[in-house]
Structure 1
Amino acid sequence: MHKPLLTTDFLDRAREYYGDQEAVVATTGERYTYDEFGERADGFSAALAERGIEKGDRVAVLDPNTHYHLEAAYGSMQLGAVHTPLNYRLVPDDFAYILSDAEVDAVYADYEYAEKIEPIRDEVPTEIFVTNDADAVEGDWESFDEIVDAAGTDYERPEMAEDDVITINYTSGTTGDPKGVCRTHRAETLHAYIVSLHQELRDDDVYLWTLPMFHVNGWGHIYAVTGMGAKHVCTRGVDAGGIFEAVAEEDVSYLCGAPTVLNILADYYHDHDDVQTQGANDVRIATAGSAPPEANIRAVEDEFGWYLKHVYGATETGPLITTSDARRFLDEDSDARFGVKKRQGIGYLGTEVRVVDEDGEDVPHDDETLGEVVVRGNQVMDRYWNKPEETEEAFSDRVEGYYHMGDLATVDEDGMIAIRDRKKDIIISGGENISSIELEDTLYDHDAVGDVAVIPAPSDDWGETPKAFVVPASGDADDPGVTADELRQFTREQLATYKVVRRIEFVEELPTTATGKVQKYELRQREWDDEDQMVGEG
């Protein structure tokens, strides 16, 4: 028997079986049951339909982790409209590109971020603008609550197929303009299924939203947590004290966070007395990106009393494709478990993860030979939006039919992978991808910069941070004609805040090959010489 896999099934199931159970704890203090959550999503569906939104139209959501994001997402998808979440750290020019590229028909934006959309309204095809506090926003914006209340809950849900695209998630634009990752009902559903399994989700879980919902739909948790009938605890950002307080007061059992979040939590815990690390429930936390330092894993498990799962993936892959939570390889009574938990691990159920050399052959399981990670699985994207050539390249570079991650890894005797470096010069700072090329292009625009190379440098706070080696236009590193602070401010004025160059070193020249290509690996080796591991290992 074949039953179509649809993202709308998750909220439908929760409403059917958990309708009178608490579903969402809002940042403003309200608490909603699944019946109430569903009615608000229905109201948004009805309001969008009244404004002409229909199946296939794109509806963008720009919001921190509030209940409005959940309602807008499901309200859009119930119409067959394509949920298009936006990274709230971007700047207006970034939004102008994405809204135009995706031909977005409607935008819901939180009042705190609507000011980033207002300046570019005339540049984009979007005609419907909704916010959660119209009085706090300049310009002509409709109120989410008012249009939901006025619309009622009646709307016509169209016939949908599991191969229909239902979300577009934009990449960070690390190698040029951001690419829209098209994901189908089927891909989102199967990813949520395996997330539920490997992350051990249950209906009595209390999930704290420390991971951005915009980030590949919160790693699929907008579906998985909802479908299981568990509870969402919303936030407006990451604050260590607030996280510990919420964990204790709401009896949180599960949360996610980049290694940066672990670092923030560990620092807060060590700087404050009598920090309560859990309520009535045991706590588990998932982290991804660069492997967290062992000291932070130790703090989370031995001091907080939480259980840590290290996972790995990319926007194009769902994102999650591997986990280090392979307990037959873990000795819970030995510190050797930290070495296992630092690895990206083994493939999720139904996911084929390989590490291959330049000829597409699997590397030996010696934990020394480098190869590129490639993956095949039901959670992998359908295609890039309107980018057939990039789609073809992503699935055919070394091995036909596998998505190529762009990460270089080794494989140990147990088949567990460990990311050692990256094919492309991507900086992962606090869980966000930053393009070294974009930073170099920005710095090149300054008159005092003659040449520049940007690499990831180690950071206690962020794992990695951008560092620029600048050859002054004057040629004199001792008298460059500009200060490091001035160059930092120059990048701050043109880029999202998390992309700003944090460290700058003036040099007489950059190391190059005989053909003039900058040898960035020499700069990286120098910066990471005192670290235990290079890029990707924390």
Structure 2
Amino acid sequence: METPLTVTGFLEQARTYYGDEEAIVGADGDRFTYAEFGDRVDRFSAALQERGIEKGDRVAVLDPNTHYHLEAAYGAMQLGAIFTPLNYRLAPDDYAYILSDAGVDAIYADYEHAEKIDAIRDEVPTETYVTNDSDAAEGQWEEFDDLLEDAGTDFDAPEMSEDEVITINYTSGTTGDPKGVCRTHRTETIHAYLISVYHEITDDDVYLWTLPMFHVNGWGHIYAVTGMGATHVCTRGVNPDEVVEAITEEDVSILCAAPAVLNQLIDYYETEGEPEMMGAKRVRATTAGSAPPEATIRAVEEEFGWYLKHLYGATETGPLITISDAKRLMTDENRYELKKRQGMGILGTDVRVVDEDGNDVPQDDATLGEIVVRGNQVMDRYWNKPEETEEAFNDRVEGYYHTGDLASVDENGMIAIRDRKKDIIISGGENISSIELEDTLFDHDAVADAAVIPAPSEEWGETPKAFVVPSNGDPDDPPVSADELTAFTRDRLAGYKVVRRIEYVDELPKTATGKTQKYELRQEEWDDEDRMIGEG
């Protein structure tokens, strides 16, 4: 028997079987059962419908990780409206572009971010503006809780098809205007199933929101955690002391964190005298993207006592497409090396690494190719961008989404990302992985953070340059000289890979999810050049 896969089923499942159980611990201290959460969602659906929102309309949500974000998301989706979460670190011009591009009809914005939306009202098609504290917000806003109080719980729920778009997630727009990634009920539902399996989510889990909910819908956790009847613990940001307090007081059992967040927690652990990092339950943590240094993985597992998983994907892929948690392949000797890899394709997902002709690269863990993928969790298309959609799915191999990541494959089929296509350094005709150089720098105790990019070179065309955050936080008086760091890389790398240019900085530009924005460093470095040799 075939039944449609729709995202509204996750909340229905939870309040049917876990209505009296705790659903949400709010960042403001409020607590809601699944019955109470469902009631608030129904009321928001009714309030939106009273304001003319119907199936297919776009409803934006600009919010840190609060209960309002979850209520607004489900309230919109119950009407068949398209949930459009926004990155809360963007500028007003970015919001003007996205709200106009998506044709957003209504927006809920947290009071701390409402000012940036108010500044561009005259430029966007949006008509309904809701916030969680209208007294603190600039401009004219309706109060979220007043809407709920005035609205009943009755609304007309439309019929929905699993192939209809239900969410648009905008990419960071690092190489042009942001692109709206269209995801259907089906892609979101199947991805949530996969997250539940590979994160081993159960109804007694307590999930801490350190990952932004706006980021690919919190990697699908707004669905998976809800559908399994587990508990959401919300936050307004990632402050190490508050994270550790929440973990111990709420008995948090699972969280997701970028490598940068893990490093913040390690610094806190070391400076605060090695406090307890768990409550009654062992913590399972997931990190993603570029692998954290081995020292970070060791600290998380050996010092904190957590179990760390490393996954990989992109906004366009759900994101989960590979995971390195292969216990049957793991030994005491290869444990940390394996956890650094992006890993194997997950169930129902065809992940390949192909050369420029679309052929699979050999499993020699040396030959580089681009990661391409197809699976039920991969996006439907880019919003209003048919040409970009066509290229993304047909560049090297027809019908596969092309990630832009370069990787090698080992004898077990486990992939390891070596670089982004735009981050590879081509020096004197040799390809150099910036990730390999960053890993080498991270091995030095005096390096807190590092990013390596191609820099212009008259002799070689390009040469590696490292931007380094010193461990003492003082770029003017670092604990190791640039020459000493260069010597450190020379002892560990082939001659043509040695990092001869080093610039100390107090911080690196980061996205909201902790990824280093190398394009900003590249733009500054190549500002006086006609072009970049490697077109990065």
Q: TM-score normalised to the size of structure 2?
A: 0.83
| 1:199-241 deviation line (CA, Å, top 9, x unaligned) | 1000000000000000000000000000000000000000111
CA distance in 2, matches of 1:126, 1:508: 39
1:456 to 1:318, Cα distance in 2 relative to 1, 3 A: farther
Structure 2 residue 406 is matched with structure 1 residue 392: no
What 5-or-longer segments of structure 1 have no aligned partner?
438-451, 462-483, 525-538
Q: Secondary structure at the match of 2:196?
A: helix
1:418 to 1:504, Cα distance in 2 relative to 1, 3 A: closer
Letter aligned with residue 518 of structure 1: M
CA distance in 2, matches of 1:392, 1:147: 42
TM-align CA RMSD? 3.1
| 1:293-349 deviation line (CA, Å, top 9, x unaligned) | 111100000000000000000000001100000111112xx2521000000000111
- Deviation, 1:507, is 8.6
1:360 to 1:8, Cα distance in 2 relative to 1, 3 A: same
- Deviation, 1:283, is 0.7
CA distance in 1, matches of 2:470, 2:166: 38
Letter aligned with residue 42 of structure 2: D
Determine if contact 2:43/2:154 at 8 Å carries over to the other structure.
yes
Structure 2 residue 343 is matched with structure 1 residue 345: yes
1:4 to 1:367, Cα distance in 2 relative to 1, 3 A: same
- Deviation, 1:502, is 8.2
How does 1:439-458 map onto structure 2 within 5 Å? 457=467
Match of 2:374 among 376, 383, 387: 376
Q: Secondary structure at the match of 1:167?
A: strand
Letter aligned with residue 262 of structure 2: L
Structure 2 residue 90 is matched with structure 1 residue 59: no
- Deviation, 1:424, is 2.5
How does 1:152-171 map onto structure 2 within 5 Å? 152-171=152-171
How does 1:90-489 map onto structure 2 within 5 Å? 90-331=90-331, 334-425=332-423, 457=467, 459=469
CA distance in 2, matches of 1:508, 1:144: 47
**Corresponding residue for 2:38?**
38
1:155 to 1:456, Cα distance in 2 relative to 1, 3 A: farther
Q: Secondary structure at the match of 1:105?
A: strand
Q: Secondary structure at the match of 2:135?
A: helix
Name segments (4+ residues, structure 1) moved above 3 Å. 425-429, 452-461, 497-510
Determine if contact 1:455/1:520 at 8 Å carries over to the other structure.
no
Structure 2 residue 18 is matched with structure 1 residue 3: no
Determine if contact 1:453/1:518 at 8 Å carries over to the other structure.
no
Structure 2 residue 533 is matched with structure 1 residue 519: yes
CA distance in 2, matches of 1:101, 1:129: 18
CA distance in 2, matches of 1:518, 1:406: 17
CA distance in 1, matches of 2:14, 2:400: 34
CA distance in 1, matches of 2:319, 2:521: 30
Q: Secondary structure at the match of 2:119?
A: helix
Query: What percentage of aligned pairs have identical amino acids?
Result: 68
Q: Secondary structure at the match of 1:364?
A: coil
| 1:119-178 deviation line (CA, Å, top 9, x unaligned) | 000000001000000000121100000001101111011000000100000000122100
CA distance in 2, matches of 1:328, 1:294: 20
Q: TM-score normalised to the size of structure 1?
A: 0.82
Determine if contact 1:46/1:151 at 8 Å carries over to the other structure.
yes
1:508 to 1:348, Cα distance in 2 relative to 1, 3 A: closer
Q: Secondary structure at the match of 2:305?
A: coil
Letter aligned with residue 183 of structure 1: R
**Corresponding residue for 2:26?**
26
- How many aligned residue pairs are there? 470
Letter aligned with residue 322 of structure 1: T
- Deviation, 1:518, is 2.5
1:131 to 1:460, Cα distance in 2 relative to 1, 3 A: farther
CA distance in 1, matches of 2:360, 2:110: 47
| 1:237-283 deviation line (CA, Å, top 9, x unaligned) | 00111111111000000000100011101111111114111011111
